[in-house]
């Protein structure tokens, strides 16, 4: 590969210079020739000295990083954001006027920031961003500049942009014009522009772009014969065949998995090498609650794979050579640790088990003692810290799956003493993970604070949740169980549900409001799943089930148990919004109703759709 790049995320978590230098050394060891510094607003340039010193770098500090990497033979690329993912910019009051004013709660709000996207109809925003880009780029001697342009969920939602759209400029054209503006800016600086390509699934503008832009295609899940789509619009396209046809250069981008699992790296490599990419990038994101160390074996392996030094079948040997432990290398290289949604209040809502979670839980359970043995065998130093970080991440994923299983037992009304034992085990294990994190923080982040106090906040929130669960488990009153069977044609998690009921005695209750996608939400997961929600132990008059947000929900069947009796849906009617095939929920099979709009382009063109409620009303009859 012409470009073999490793990324560090200095925007979401500042690192001290000694650690950044050690990460550069890792890149060299892995055979990389390029370093991406993901920055957002992480540099205090001449015009922007008001950025906080706590989580940004001076020009002198960034220059030291660039010089260290350059001396090691690496090209250094500034990876900026020029449209979306401007959360940290808009945390400053004086910059908020440049943001899209999003009243519709569109898309993903990273870390809860209110504003995320710049307004392309505001000339002050364009002037601001141009100035910042020029001042940052001036520090970098290399030829590439990455300008972001990914995940612009809040694009063109304000009144000014919506007025332009109504007057004949579709959102697609507004996006294209801005991309062309940024390209002209980067070209005027004598640099070559790189950008993410995920939002071409919303805005089909590829053929209108200059051919000297290098496309960066990211896929962090298992890649099949062609990459799956990313978002609600989920366009599945043979992108690299298209780029080859159009004469566009591109690189493929994997993820430095925190437990060094390689299902994405290996499968994406198989797809990419059927075509003509000019390089590959190992990305790393959002380490304010965690560390990079667990990804080191995967980083080394991918760098050598992309350089042509090893083949996929050499993975165990690469891991063993780095870790100096063949046994633990075999365990780690065979683990395919999927990300899960952790756990919420298991006494209020439960997701039933399905095969993916069942397999994942047992796999992690039996891997953990093997990892612990590897830690005990390792000498103090980097390798032991790598194993400790992998162990902590695997344990954390296991605890989430364990609590999800405990929720099933709770809703099955099994012995609470066993559930309390699980809660106790989870609490003690979280303390172990916290202690491991404290040790790594003290060793590698001396003088650095957690961005937004997210490291401490993560554990504080989990312990408070466990306190709440233990308190709820003391309640011995009887309860009913409402079961919602759902289908997962797509897994983008922005749709929300509202579950309301009216009991036969006239009492009304809001049972749940929030997300209800499956716990192992991956871009390539599909099939049936179900959630159970606690209700009062009495007969229902009706259920009012609503969805809203970007995307659709797909219910298949509803039923409940109360007072020892079972009831199934017997009638359904549409109340409001876009509802299709609602009659299918009366059949207990895999056919599904559709609630909400599954067309991402429709949402981009009219953000107000996110506020629209799509509602059905369901009645039940006793199951004889």
Banded model confidence at residue 104, pLDDT cuts 50, 70, 90: low
**What phi and psi values does residue 552 have, to the nearest 5 degrees?**
-125, 160
Let me know if domain 480-622 sits in CATH 3.40.50. Answer: no
Beta-sheet pairing, 540-548 with 614-622? antiparallel
pLDDT, average across residues 210-233: 87
pLDDT mean over 465-480: 96
Question: How is residue 320 written in tokens?
Answer: 């063993």
Residue 522: what pLDDT? 56
Closest CA to 583 of 592, 166, 516, 290: 592
pLDDT of residue 409: 97
Angstrom CA distances, 199 to 196, 203, 214, 277, 492, stand at 8, 6, 15, 19, 14
**CB-CB neighbours of 298 under 10 Å:** 28
In this predicted model, what pLDDT tens digit does every residue of 142-188 receive, in sequence order?
999 999 999 888 889 888 998 999 999 999 999 999 999 999 999 99
CA nearest to 11, candidates 91, 94, 95, 127? 91
Place of tokens 């009012």: 544
Region 317-344: mean pLDDT is 94
Ranges 95-99, 114-118, 374-378, 476-480: which has the least confidence: 114-118
Within 10 A of 146 (CB to CB), how many other CB atoms are there? 26
Taking the CA atoms of 271, 274, 275 and 281 in sequence, report the sign of the dihedral they define. Answer: positive
Is the pLDDT assigned to residue 101 strictly greater than 90?
no
Concatenating the DSSP letter of every residue in 303-342 gives HHHHHTS--GGGHHHHHHHHHT-HHHHHHHHH--------
Residue 413: exposure state from Cβ atoms within 10 A (0-12, 13-18, ≥19): exposed
The partner residues of 348 in beta bridges, in order of sequence, read none
Q: What is the pLDDT of residue 523?
A: 47
Percent of the chain's residues with pLDDT above 70: 96
Q: Is 128:60 a contact under the CB 8 Å cutoff?
A: no
Instruction: Find the mean pLDDT for residues 461-481.
Output: 97
pLDDT bin (cut points 50, 70, 90) of residue 328 is very high
Mean pLDDT calculated for residue range 258-273: 96
Q: How far apart are CA 43 and CA 440, in angstroms?
A: 25
* pLDDT for 461: 96
Per residue in 564-603, pLDDT (tens digit) is 999 999 999 999 999 999 999 999 998 999 999 988 888 8
Nearest partner of 222 among 283, 275, 266, judged by Cα: 266
Q: State the Cα–Cα distance between residues 398 and 64, nearest whole angstrom.
A: 40
User: Encoding tokens for residue 539?
Assistant: 């007969």
Tokens of 432: 């172990």
pLDDT average, residue stretch 497-510:
98
How far apart CA 396 and CA 394 sit, in angstroms, is: 5
Rounded CA separation 52/59 (Å):
13
Handedness of CA 172, 108, 240, 27 (dihedral sign): positive
Q: Which helix (H) or strand (E) holds 375?
A: helix 355-377
Mean pLDDT confidence for 313-333: 97
Q: In angstroms, rounded to a whole number, what is the distance separating the alpha carbons of residues 244 and 254?
A: 20
Distance between CA atoms of 384 and 374, rounded to whole angstroms? 8
Judged by DSSP in three states, 403 sits in helix
Domain boundaries defined on the chain: 213-282, 334-473, 480-622
Residue 614, pLDDT > 70, answer yes
pLDDT at position 413 over 50: yes
Q: Over range 249-259, report the average pLDDT.
A: 97
Q: Which residues fall within 8 angstroms of residue 412, CB to CB, at 6 or more apart? A: none
Tokens for 110, please give them.
């990273």
| Of the candidates 68, 73, 64, the residue with the CA atom closest to the CA atom of residue 28 | 73
Q: What is the pLDDT at residue 356?
A: 84
Residue 284 and residue 397: Cα distance in Å, rounded? 18
Question: Residue 99 CA to chain centroid, in angstroms?
Answer: 23
Please give the pLDDT value at position 67.
Answer: 98
Whats the size of the chain, residue-wise?
Answer: 624
The structure tokens 């490599």 sit at: 269
CB contact at 8 A, 312 and 266? yes
Instruction: Give the DSSP H or E segment for 196.
Output: strand 192-196
Handedness of CA 586, 590, 593, 596 (dihedral sign): positive
Tokens representing residue 198 in the block: 């995920």
CB 92 within 8 A of CB 113: no
Model confidence at 395: pLDDT above 60 = yes
Find tokens 């290098």 and name the residue: 214
Residues forming beta bridges with residue 43, ordered by sequence position = 57
**Are 66 and 76 within 8 A, CB to CB?**
yes
CA distance linking residue 349 with residue 352, whole number of Å: 10
Residue 541's φ and ψ, nearest 5 degrees, are: -85, -45
Q: 7: Cβ–Cβ under 8 A, 6 or more apart, which residues? A: 35, 36, 37, 38, 79, 256, 281, 282, 283, 284
Residue of higher predicted confidence among 484 and 223: 484
pLDDT single digits (tens) 57-70: 999 999 999 999 99
Whether 383 shows a pLDDT value over 90: the answer reads yes
Question: Which of helix, strand or coil describes residue 76?
Answer: strand
Query: According to DSSP H, which parts of 41-92 are helical?
Result: 59-71
Report the pLDDT value the prediction gives residue 603, as an integer from 0 to 100. 80
Q: What is the mean pLDDT of residues 8-21?
A: 98
Question: Are 574 and 544 a contacting pair, CB within 8 Å?
Answer: no
Distance between CA atoms of residues 70 and 511, nearest Å: 58
Sorted by sequence, the CB contacts under 8 Å of residue 379 that are 6+ apart come out as none
Instruction: Report helix, strand or coil for 448.
Output: coil
Given a cut of 50, is residue 399 above it in pLDDT?
Answer: yes
Cα 20 off chain centre by: 24
Q: Where do we find the tokens 């004086």?
A: 94
* 424-456 residues labelled b (16+ CB within 10 A) or e (exposed): eebbebbeebbebbeebbeebbeeeebbbebbb
User: What mean pLDDT comes out for the span 106-111?
Assistant: 53
Among residues of the chain, what percentage have pLDDT more than 90?
Answer: 82
User: What is the chain's mean pLDDT, rounded?
Assistant: 93
């Amino acid at each position: 590969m012409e470009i073999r790049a490793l990324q560090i995320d200095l925007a979401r978590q500042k690192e001290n210079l000694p650690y950044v230098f050690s990460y550069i050394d890792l890149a060299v060891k892995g055979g990389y020739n390029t370093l991406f510094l993901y920055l957002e607003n992480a540099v205090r340039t001449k015009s922007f000295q008001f950025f906080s010193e706590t989580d940004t770098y001076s020009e002198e500090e960034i220059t030291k990083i660039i010089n260290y990497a350059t001396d090691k033979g690496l090209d250094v690329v500034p990876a900026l954001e020029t449209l979306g993912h401007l959360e940290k910019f808009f945390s400053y009051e004086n910059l908020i006027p440049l943001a899209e004013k999003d009243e519709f709660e569109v898309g993903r709000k990273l870390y809860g920031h209110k504003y995320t996207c710049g307004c392309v109809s505001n000339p002050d925003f364009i002037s601001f961003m141009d100035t910042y880009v020029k001042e940052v780029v001036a520090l970098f001697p290399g030829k590439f500049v990455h300008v972001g342009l990914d995940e612009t969920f809040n694009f063109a939602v304000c009144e000014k942009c919506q007025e332009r759209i109504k007057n004949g400029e579709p959102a697609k054209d507004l996006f294209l014009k801005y991309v062309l503006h940024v390209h002209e800016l980067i070209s005027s600086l004598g640099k070559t522009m790189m950008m993410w390509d995920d939002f071409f699934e919303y805005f089909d503008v590829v053929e209108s772009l200059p051919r000297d832009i290098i496309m960066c295609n990211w896929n962090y899940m298992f890649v099949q014969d062609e990459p799956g789509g990313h978002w609600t619009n989920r366009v599945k396209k043979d992108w690299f065949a298209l780029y080859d046809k159009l004469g566009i250069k591109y690189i493929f981008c994997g993820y430095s998995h925190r437990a060094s699992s390689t299902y994405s790296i290996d499968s994406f490599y198989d797809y990419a090498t059927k075509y003509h990419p000019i390089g590959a990038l190992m990305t790393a994101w959002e380490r304010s609650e965690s560390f990079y160390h667990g990804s080191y074996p995967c980083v080394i392996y991918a760098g050598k794979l992309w350089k042509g030094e090893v083949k996929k079948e050499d993975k165990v040997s690469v891991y063993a050579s780095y870790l100096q432990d063949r046994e633990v290398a075999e365990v780690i290289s065979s683990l395919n640790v999927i990300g899960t949604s952790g756990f919420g209040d298991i006494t209020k809502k439960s997701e039933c088990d399905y095969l993916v979670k069942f397999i994942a839980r047992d796999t992690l359970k039996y891997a953990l003692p093997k990892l612990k043995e590897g830690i005990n065998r390792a000498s103090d130093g980097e390798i032991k810290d790598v194993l400790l970080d992998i162990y902590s991440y695997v344990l954390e994923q296991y605890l989430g799956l364990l609590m999800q299983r405990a929720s099933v037992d709770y809703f099955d009304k099994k012995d609470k003493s066993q559930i309390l034992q699980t809660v106790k085990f989870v609490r003690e294990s979280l303390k172990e993970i916290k202690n491991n994190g404290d040790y790594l923080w003290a060793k590698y982040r001396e003088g650095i604070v957690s961005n937004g106090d997210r490291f401490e906040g993560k554990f504080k929130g989990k312990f408070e949740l466990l306190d709440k669960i233990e308190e709820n488990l003391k309640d011995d009153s009887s309860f009913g169980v409402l079961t919602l069977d759902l289908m997962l044609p797509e897994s983008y998690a922005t749709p929300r549900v509202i579950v309301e009921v009216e009991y036969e005695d006239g009492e009304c209750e809001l049972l749940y409001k929030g997300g209800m996608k499956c716990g192992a939400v991956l871009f390539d997961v599909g099939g049936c799943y179900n959630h159970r929600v606690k209700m009062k132990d009495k007969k229902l008059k009706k259920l009012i089930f609503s969805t809203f947000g970007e995307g659709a929900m797909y219910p298949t069947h509803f039923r409940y148990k109360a007072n020892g009796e079972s009831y199934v849906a017997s009638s359904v009617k549409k109340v409001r919004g876009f509802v299709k095939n609602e009659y299918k929920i009366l059949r207990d099979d895999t056919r599904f109703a559709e609630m909400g709009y599954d067309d991402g382009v429709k949402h981009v063109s009219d953000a107000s759709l996110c506020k629209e409620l799509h509602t059905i009303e369901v009645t039940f009859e006793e199951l004889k």
